[in-house]
Amino acid sequence: MSDDDSGRELLARVFLARVLEPGDEVGGRWVRELGAVEVARCLKAGGPQLVGVTDKRWGGLLARASEDRAEMDLDVARAAGMRFVVPGDAEWPGQLDDLGDGRPLGVWVRGMPSLRMWALRSVAVVGARACTEYGAHMAATLGAGLAERGWVVVSGGAYGVDGAAHRGALGAGGATVAVLACGVDRPYPRGHTELITRIAEQGLVIGELPPGDHPTPSRFIVRNRVIAALTRGTVVVEAAHRSGSLVTARAAQRLGRHTIGVPGPATSSLSAGVHELLRGDAVLVTDAAEVVELVGDIGELAPQRRGPVLPTDLLEPGARRVLAALPGRGAATADAVARGALTTRDDAIARLYELRSLGYVERHGDGWKLTRQTMISVRGGRGRC
């Protein structure tokens, strides 16, 4: 494509970004079949009417197309340090193409790093706006843990879990991306202006809507598909049954991405949606290492979880069986110990003398009993013998 053709394509997509709503699959099909330049020309000329829409809908599109602000939008974007990345650009993240006709016409980007490179190793962390202290703690811990492991944390910049995940990544000196449902030069929510500004300085702020555009409830919903498509997996931390975070998780499932949930209290309504996901195809995680084990490359394994090592864990199996055969109170004969340990009398006696040398048991007349220290410190691990 020549520079002139690239310039016309860019202007056409900037123009269409104000005419078509994000995620409009009918408009996306027009662009795929006819090209952005032809669709823009048709809308500016007032026809002919393209297939797939009613007369009323076509009239609404023509009303929006009556004003061409593409050049102005690009000027405003440049002044605000923004750029418009479109399919075919070196910075375009190819995973957004998985959205088919619902893929963005382009993405407004604020920040220095390459969106394509960052998206290759990214994880979404989303959840309730009105989260609990537990939810905020888990989101921040996951954000920091993922960032420390070299992963980019993607979220929606909202209050609650989103903000906590972003702050966790930033606090760890890591990378994070905020995907907004409004113009990226217009931080929303207003209370997160400072946070979103910091993300733009240390990471990336992106969105489909042109400069100055405002969010609506439907735009938040369709924004979530971008979060799901951009990342390797979506982690949900606290979500009620009607949470928008579940929309992101289900979009991730449809796209073949990993869907991941952090469990909460069984009595918490804010975790009910997460638990519903976990009863389906979502995978339960408790920390960043387990997330990376799912979404990372072969060999990026979470450490094996186990309880504390007890002194008896270091004994040979035969010695552990003999130790377990001794009663909690009182003494037992060597014959009784042998029967309890399913071994011979001679083997039991040999093991008992070994255990005495280690301080676990003591001789008591013709019998054997646990030492006081053994009863206090290791009897709780008896089920392991």
CATH code (residue 362) = 1.10.10.10
Last residue of one domain, picked from the residues 240, 260, 295:
295
Number of structural domains the chain divides into = 3
194 occurs within a structural domain: yes
- 251 and 185 assigned to the same domain: yes
- 321 and 268 assigned to the same domain: no
- 243 and 189 assigned to the same domain: yes
- 232 and 162 assigned to the same domain: yes
- 265 and 343 assigned to the same domain: no
pLDDT above 70: percentage of residues in the chain: 93
318 occurs within a structural domain: yes
- 119 and 268 assigned to the same domain: yes
Which amino acid belongs to residue 195?
L
- 254 and 340 assigned to the same domain: no
- 51 and 194 assigned to the same domain: no
91 occurs within a structural domain: no
Q: Grade residue 382 by pLDDT with cuts at 50, 70 and 90.
A: very low
320 occurs within a structural domain: yes
pLDDT above 90: percentage of residues in the chain: 79
**Higher pLDDT pick, 300 / 204:** 204
Tell me the CA distances in angstroms from 16 to 25, 102, 211, 225, 322, one per residue in order: 13, 14, 13, 19, 79
Report the predicted TM-score, pTM, of the whole model to 2 decimal places.
Answer: 0.81
Which amino acid belongs to residue 243?
S
Mean pLDDT of the chain: 91
- 167 and 256 assigned to the same domain: yes
217-272 pLDDT per residue, tens: 999 999 999 999 999 999 999 999 988 899 999 999 999 999 999 999 999 999 99
Quick check: 379 pLDDT over 60? no
Last residue of one domain, picked from the residues 295, 322, 346:
295
Q: Grade residue 297 by pLDDT with cuts at 50, 70 and 90.
A: confident
DSSP-assigned states of every residue in 183-232: -TTS-SSGGGHHHHHHHHHHSEEEESSPTTPPP-HHHHHHHHHHHHHHSS
- 182 and 34 assigned to the same domain: no
Q: Are 258 and 252 in contact (CB under 8 A)?
A: yes
Last residue of one domain, picked from the residues 56, 73, 90:
73
Quick check: 166 pLDDT over 70? yes
- 171 and 235 assigned to the same domain: yes
Mean pLDDT calculated for residue range 360-368: 89
pLDDT at 384: 42
90 occurs within a structural domain: no
378 occurs within a structural domain: yes
Q: Contacts from 369-372 at CB under 8 Å and sequence distance 24+?
A: 369/326, 369/327, 369/330, 369/331, 369/332, 370/323, 370/326, 370/328
CATH number at 249 reads 3.40.50.450
pLDDT at 330: 87
- 243 and 289 assigned to the same domain: yes
Q: Which residues constitute the domain of residue 364? A: 311-384
CA separation for the pair 318, 348 (Å, rounded): 9
303-323 pLDDT per residue, tens: 666 666 567 777 888 998 999
Quick check: 302 pLDDT over 70? no
pLDDT at 307: 62
14-40 pLDDT per residue, tens: 999 999 999 999 999 999 999 999 999
Quick check: 165 pLDDT over 70? yes
93 occurs within a structural domain: no
104-134 pLDDT per residue, tens: 999 999 999 999 999 999 999 999 999 999 9
Quick check: 336 pLDDT over 50? yes
84 occurs within a structural domain: no
